[in-house]
Amino acid sequence: MDSIQINIKNLAGIVSEEEILRKSELATSANNALHDGTREGSDFLGWVDLPSSITEEEFRDIEEAATVLRTHCDVVVVVGIGGSYLGARAVIDALTNSFDWLQPEKKRKNPVILYAGNNISEDYLSEMIDYLENKEFGIINISKSGTTTEPAIAFRLLKNLLEKKVGNEESKKRIVAITDATKGALRTLADSEGYKTFIIPDNIGGRYSVLTPVGLLPIAVAGINIRKLVTGAAEIEKATDKTVSFDYNLPAIYAVIRNELYRRGKKIEILVNYHPKLHFLAEWWKQLFGESEGKDQMGIFPAAVDFTADLHSMGQWIQEGERTIFETVISIKEPNKKVLVPHDEVNLDGLNYLKGKRVDEVNKMAELGTRLAHVDGGVPNILIEIPELNEKYIGQLIYFFEKACGISGYLLGVNPFNQPGVEAYKSNMFALLEKPGYEEATKSIKSKL
């Protein structure tokens, strides 16, 4: 197996293979629309052929900027919210040592990557500033406009700290702005200060931006091979183009199954992993599908669990709770490390029957046993297998989900590339903060309190 695979044998008898095949024409039409730009959201389809279109010059530019930050900084703070940071964090967490950030600086090969601007917690920002006081740090500020509240506050604080520590001229070398090509507050600031900049393409929305500089620069700073990541994505791009039949188009098959389960009352999809490194991959996936499909009073609710840990908290509900759920399980065929269960003379824990076995064998049996139990309990199960955790296969998985999301949204009948509902809370927040221009809204809201 040199590519991700999908296993659909455990759908609990709810959706048959024949029913899936009946939707092949609809799914193929939706897939073709992504390539042709013939449906809603066609102005946000730049991600479709992105993996195969990144040039050598673009790779070198990103790698050189990453080298500058890696050379000058022990810590790099990625400032962004939603798609501006989730994709990068998903890849970085998946492909770096879980305890790398705890290593002494002299032993570290790559900067510590921190994240700011994804919340408005005063304690979080204060603690980050305290941590950075004695660190050589840099900033990657990711914002199309430069005025989104959460990242704008974080950047203002961090920029102020950096300038106090190293001076204005040195700070300019340690700040990279990823923003609009010509307009917006961050573009204006970057041009006036002379920051190194990268462009957020107008035709790629945030949640589809992992393979643009938005994701690739932080990933490169973390020491991950972005060329291999993009190569993996390009392989799935090619495997899902207009020449590929439905039978071999794995994202299209996944999209059909999701929609058929939804029509049969399965309103919640739980993304399951058995590897803690995939936690933020699930967070990225939740935004991808939630923001793309949750509109017009429709859409599957995307949830996620980390097994086996969450089997001891959510397992009971999944096994015997309301039957409105289905699971998509990500399984890693081969771990990167090998650990054997040792023999113990006393054997008080009763684990000697496992002596000499790999820890991953225990994990795999927990995975198989759980899948079987959940299917028996009426929970349909889709299995996505990846050969191992590396750049190529994570790249494949990212593009797989992006393509499936686009197809699934079109099958559902919504525009999967807009997000009109995310502005509601902002308007209320601005009114409550008495932002200029929101005077009438302020009066209206205060009358309700």
Tokens of 10: 């455990």
Indicate the SS3 state at residue 340. Answer: strand
Distance between the two ends of the chain, CA-based, in angstroms?
59
Of 172, 152, 177, the C-alpha closest to 162 is: 172
Q: How far apart are CA 258 and CA 411, in angstroms?
A: 10
Residue type, 376: D
Write down the H helix ranges in 272-333.
279-293, 315-320
DSSP conformation letters of 20-87: HHHTHHHHHHHHHHHHHT-STTGGG-TTTTHHHH--HHHHHHHHHHHHHHHHH-SEEEEE--GGGTHH
238 is catalytic: no
CA 214 remoteness from chain centre: 12
Tokens of 238: 């090619």
CA 280 remoteness from chain centre: 6
Let me know: does 260 contact 252? Beta carbons within 8 Å: no
Q: How far apart are CA 263 and CA 337, in angstroms?
A: 42
Sequence-distant (≥ 6) Cβ neighbours of residue 123 within 8 angstroms: none
Indicate the SS3 state at residue 107. Answer: helix
Number of separate helices (H) and strands (E) present in the chain: 18, 10
Of 240, 276, 303, 331, the C-alpha closest to 4 is: 331
Active-site option among 235, 291, 367, 391: 291
Q: How far apart are CA 44 and CA 171, in angstroms?
A: 34
Q: Say if strands 381-386 and 5-10 run parallel, antiparallel, or are unpaired.
A: antiparallel
367 is catalytic: no
Active-site option among 183, 242, 357, 426: 426
| Helical (H) or strand (E) element with 231 | helix 226-238
> What DSSP designation does 138 have?
E
Indicate the SS3 state at residue 412. Answer: helix
* ω into 148 cis (within 30 of 0): no
Residue type, 135: K
- Dihedral through CA 31, CA 32, CA 35, CA 39, nearest 10? -90
Of 282, 278, 251, the C-alpha closest to 416 is: 251
**Residues known to be catalytic:** 291, 426
